[in-house]
Amino acid sequence: MNFLKNILKQSGKLFEEGKPLSWAYPVWEATDTILFSTDKQTSSGPHVRDNMDIKRVMFSVVIALIPCYLFGAYNIGYLNALATDVSRSLIDNFIFGMSYVLPVLIVTFVSGAICELSFAIIRKHEVNEGFLVTCALIPLTMPPDVPLWQVFIGTAFGIIIGKEIFGGVGTNIFNPALTARAFMYFAFPTKMSGDKIWAVGPDGYTGATALAIPANPTEYDTASNLLNQSTQFDFSLWNMFWGLIPGSIGETNKLIILIGAAFLIYIGIASWRTMLASVIGLVFTASIFNLLSGYSTNAMLTITPLEHLLIGSFLFGVVFMATEPVTSAHTEKGKWIYGFMIGVLTVLIRSINPAYPEGVMLAILIMNMFGPLIDYYVVQSNINMRIARNA
């Protein structure tokens, strides 16, 4: 270990200011601190510091996402076996799925690392570990058979337009992972539109996702009935909870997402307020729509709150995307409003607008945009209290 430490120390001198490699200092700093924790000391008070740093914060989110990858890979294999009518063991299903997941993951990280490192060098800021989370999130929101070149471009778009042009981590407005996904959704609609089947099958294999069924019914019925009538997949509530249904790689298994949520809340880095408020907003709006469904022939209005929670990527988006600290509202009260509106908008976009079967992505992006405005009014009330006291 000391040998490696010395190599890093010696090589570090080449990257100091005025030395030939000084332009690549951020790259050296990142490598150095990933291998060995920094020996940087406090200079003045507080003379002691907590052991939590940004590396660990970001790494914790990545940990919470790993089970999503594992189940996602298995699910790809499982659905493929179903479509091609072969029987495979659990391990084989997993390996089959991994052969789709790994290339996407690798391409995302290569694309993300190129963008992050280039910007770190040009802008002379440290490599921020946040890009690891962005890159870990992007593949989970993709269909399994997404073309890799699209992933490469989408990731680059997300990191550059979603984050770096605003000044990097801490100053971005939109969640970079969702920016990437939104870009791909609109740029490559044939692969990403969400109503066609999201599973790996033989050529010409097709079918409808859970959200597309009540969106385009052949005959009006309640959403529950329509889902139950589907013969291609088991869209029962339990099966949708366990996630053995087509969808983006990481979002189908709700149990794993809930465990991830509990983990992040326990550690203290994701806001339970945002999550709870989103669920309240969704249940509230869905209940109102249920009441109004008798006056309409839109089957989407009959989706019960519980079905809304289990169908599609709502939980995944709320737990891992909406809670992203930089782009969410920053104040406690603000988080309640921010979360609630995500829930409301998700149901609105899903039910009222037939063009977008899934609404959570757009709901979060829209609320990302409103986050600073919400905070402004929350903080303003504190200011007004102080002004009133002064008067």
Partner 1 sequence: MFRLKIKKGHDINIAGRSAKEFLPTQNCNSASLSPQSFRYIKPKLLVKEGDIVNLGDPIFYDKLNPEIKWPAIASGKISKIIYGERRSIQEIIFDIDKQQEQSLQEVSTTNLSSKEDITNYMLENNIWPFIKQRPFNKVANPSDMPKSLIVSLANTAPLAINHNFTLSEQKEYIISALKHLKELTNGKLFVVIRPGEFEYLSELEYLNLIEVEGPHPAGNVGVVINHLEPINNKDVIWTVEGHHLPILGKMFSKGIFDPSVVINIAGPVVKKPGYIRTRLGSPVGIHCKDNLIEKEVRIISGNILTGNKIDMEGYLGFYDSSISIIEESFDRSFIGWLHPGGSSKYSVFNSYIGSNKEPYNFTTLQNGSNRAFVPVDAWEKVFPMDIYINSLARSIEANDIDEMEQLGIYECDEEDVALCSFVCPSKTDVGSIIRRGLDLIYFDA
Residue 123 sits in the site that holds partner 1 (CB under 8 A)? no
Q: Tokens at residue 215, please?
A: 């969106």
Choose which of 93, 134, 271, 302 interacts with partner 1 (CB under 8 A): 271
Backbone φ and ψ for 242, nearest 5 degrees, come out as -75, -15
For partner 1, the binding residue among 62, 95, 330, 370 (CB under 8 A) is: 330
Residue 111's Cβ-side half-sphere holds a number of Cα atoms within 13 Å equal to: 26
| Piece in contact with partner 1 (CB under 8 A), picked from 65-73, 102-110, 268-276, 341-349 | 268-276
Residues between 11 and 50 that touch partner 1 (CB under 8 A): 29, 33-42, 44-50
Residue among 59, 152, 166, 370 that touches partner 1 (CB under 8 A):
59
Looking at beta carbons only, is 29 or 221 nearer to partner 1?
Answer: 29
Instruction: Give me the least distance between CB of 389 and partner 1, in Å please.
Output: 6
Among 89, 170, 288, 377, binds partner 1 (CB under 8 A): 170
| Beta carbon nearer to partner 1, 42 or 87 | 42
Q: What is the DSSP letter of 319?
A: I
Q: Which of the ranges 154-162, 196-204, 263-271, 277-285 carries the binding residues for partner 1, by CB under 8 A? A: 263-271
Which among 73, 149, 140 is positioned nearest to 111, based on CA atoms? Answer: 149
Measure the CA–CA gap between 271 and 331, rounded to whole angstroms. 11
Task: Name the DSSP letter for residue 196.
Answer: B
**Which stretch in 79-87, 108-116, 128-136, 225-233 sits in contact with partner 1 by CB under 8 A?**
128-136
The one among 7, 54, 90, 106 contacting partner 1 by CB under 8 A? 54
Binding-site size, partner 1 (CB under 8 A): 57
Distance CA 100, CA 198 (A): 13
Q: Return the number of other C-beta atoms located less than 10 Å from residue 258's C-beta.
A: 14
CA 267: distance to chain centroid? 19
233-257 per-residue burial string, b: 16 or more CB within 10 A, e: under 16: bebebeebbbbbbbbbbbbbbbebb
- If phi over 0 gives left and psi between -120 and 50 gives alpha, with beta otherwise, what is residue 356? beta
Q: How far is C-alpha 146 from the geometric centre of its chain's CA atoms?
A: 17
| Residues at the contact surface with partner 1, assessed by CB under 8 A | 1, 5, 29, 33-42, 44-57, 59-60, 125-126, 128-130, 168-171, 266-269, 271, 325-326, 330-332, 375, 378-379, 382-383, 386-387, 389-390
